[in-house]
């Protein structure tokens, strides 16, 4: 193994938020070994989000549709790279198979070289105590990036997050977006009202109230709604003011959605992948945090976390529920539109102090 220029493999297949948070691992490894060659294997749809990082040598994509044969083919290709170190930041069946395959193959290589394999702990015992008995032994506050960086301490790498930006996008993507939509010139707020699980979504009625209150105070402001093709409920938000609210849900790639966030003055988001895109781009964010603990933002200098301290939180690993509070989903229902607007207007004023307003917010 070369101590000065090791060849390193990161394994993190999914999900979107976890992949985006794992971007900080690249710089952490690069700072430890500036001459290192860093590779990353992820799901194919996430390759465009990581392949432009300046310290990443190569991104490898796995298409889930190819099944085990695709995973085996990928293992053979990775084996030819002869990695010195492997960090399994996922610890799924797929990632463990790849580690086992590469370790086994290393015994038959010439020259003989066994890679150092580091696996992220899933802390199952702590999770069991937290969700079953409400006993919390996790380091507080929760931090998704810290949990991904913490295992690297065994390689003498600190667990503090490298500074943003850590998300780098294709250089021509701005022009492509402007050609299609002409949306990036005027200052705007990006909104991400969706999430994988219903319990992680700030109520739709609250989003409507927030937009109505803000537009009543400032008829010059613009909003862009981001989400997937399944998020048809966002159409009702656009109808509040179609001239000022642009709904791009389902019309953008992941990279294009990230580019919109990059140009926003502020991102307001549920606990979802786009929140971490905002953090890794270094944009100001408001994070509406509800039932789940492990996707918590890590850049407190740029992100305002809004949450309610309740005995029932967190209630589940991913926010899949069930809700145990007598007031259903109170962890998010109890965060009022007025409170979010108060935080948003402060950040907006800092980002765009000369913005004309009909009357002060």
Cβ atoms of 58 and 36 closer than 8 Å: no
> Is it the case that residue 352 has pLDDT exceeding 80?
no
Long-range contacts, stretch 3-7, CB < 8 angstroms, 24+ apart: 4/33, 4/35, 5/33, 5/35, 5/36, 5/37, 6/33, 6/36, 6/37, 6/84, 6/85, 7/36, 7/37, 7/39, 7/81, 7/82, 7/83, 7/84, 7/85
**In the 3-class helix/strand/coil scheme, how is 193-260 assigned residue by residue?**
CCCCCHHHCCCHHHHHHHHHHHHHHCCCCEEEECCCCCCCCHHHHHCCCCCCEEECCCCCCHHHHHHH
Q: What is the pLDDT of residue 106?
A: 87
> Is it the case that residue 226 has pLDDT exceeding 80?
yes
| Residues 182-221: tens digit of each pLDDT | 888 888 999 999 999 999 999 999 999 999 999 999 878 8
Q: What is the pLDDT of residue 110?
A: 66
The percent of residues in the chain predicted with pLDDT above 90, rounded, is 82
> Is it the case that residue 1 has pLDDT exceeding 90?
no
Cβ atoms of 35 and 5 closer than 8 Å: yes
Q: What is the pLDDT of residue 355?
A: 66
Q: Dihedral sign for Cα 244, 206, 229, 260, please.
A: positive
Domains of the chain in sequence order? 7-155 (3.40.50.2000), 173-351 (3.40.50.2000)
Among residues 201, 241, 236, 209, the alpha carbon closest in space to that of 223 is found at 241
Which H/E stretch holds residue 293? Answer: none
Q: What is the pLDDT of residue 186?
A: 85
CB contact set of 14 (below 8 Å; sequence gap of 6+)? 42, 43, 46, 90
| Residues 254-299: tens digit of each pLDDT | 999 999 999 999 999 999 999 999 999 999 999 999 999 988 999 9
Rg (the chain; Cα; Å): 22
Q: Which residue is listed with tokens 């066994």?
A: 114
Note the residue count of the chain. Answer: 361
SS3 state of residue 104: helix
Q: What is the pLDDT of residue 356?
A: 63
The Cα 134–Cα 112 span in angstroms is 48
The overall pTM is greater than 0.85? yes
Q: What is the pLDDT of residue 214?
A: 96
Cβ atoms of 3 and 80 closer than 8 Å: no
> Is it the case that residue 38 has pLDDT exceeding 80?
yes
The Cα 164–Cα 171 span in angstroms is 18
């Amino acid at each position: 193994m070369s101590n000065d220029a090791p060849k390193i493999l990161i394994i993190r297949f999914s999900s979107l938020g976890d992949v985006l948070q794992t971007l900080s691992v690249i710089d952490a490894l690069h700072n430890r070994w500036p001459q290192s060659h860093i590779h990353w294997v992820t799901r194919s749809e996430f390759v465009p989000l990581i392949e432009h990082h300046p310290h990443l040598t190569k991104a490898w994509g796995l298409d889930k549709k190819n099944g085990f044969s695709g995973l085996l083919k990928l293992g053979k290709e990775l084996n030819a790279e002869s990695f010195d170190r492997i960090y399994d930041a996922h610890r799924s069946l797929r990632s463990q198979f790849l580690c086992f395959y590469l370790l086994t193959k290393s015994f038959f290589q010439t020259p003989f070289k066994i890679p150092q394999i580091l696996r992220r702990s899933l802390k199952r015992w702590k999770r069991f105590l937290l969700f079953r008995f409400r006993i919390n032994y996790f380091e507080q506050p929760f931090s998704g990036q810290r949990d991904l960086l913490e295992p690297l301490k065994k390689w003498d790498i600190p667990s503090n997050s490298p500074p943003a930006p850590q998300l780098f996008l294709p250089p021509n993507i701005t022009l492509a977006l402007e050609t299609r939509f002409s949306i990036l010139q005027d200052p705007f707020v990006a909104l991400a009202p969706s999430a994988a699980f219903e319990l992680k979504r700030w109520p739709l009625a609250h989003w409507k109230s927030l937009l109505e209150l803000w537009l009543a105070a400032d008829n010059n402001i613009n909003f862009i709604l981001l989400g997937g093709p399944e998020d048809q409920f966002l159409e009702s938000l656009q109808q509040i003011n179609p001239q000022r609210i642009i709904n791009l849900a389902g019309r953008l790639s992941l990279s294009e959605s990230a580019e919109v966030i990059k140009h926003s003055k502020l991102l307001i988001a549920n606990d979802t992948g786009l929140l971490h895109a905002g953090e890794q781009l270094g944009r100001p964010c408001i994070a509406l945090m509800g039932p789940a603990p492990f996707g918590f933002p890590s850049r407190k200098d740029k992100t305002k976390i809004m949450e309610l301290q309740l005995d029932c939180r967190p209630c589940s690993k991913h926010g899949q529920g069930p809700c145990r509070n007598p007031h259903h989903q109170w962890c998010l229902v109890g965060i009022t539109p007025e409170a979010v607007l108060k935080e948003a207007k402060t950040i907006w004023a800092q980002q765009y102090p000369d913005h004309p307003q009909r009357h002060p917010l």
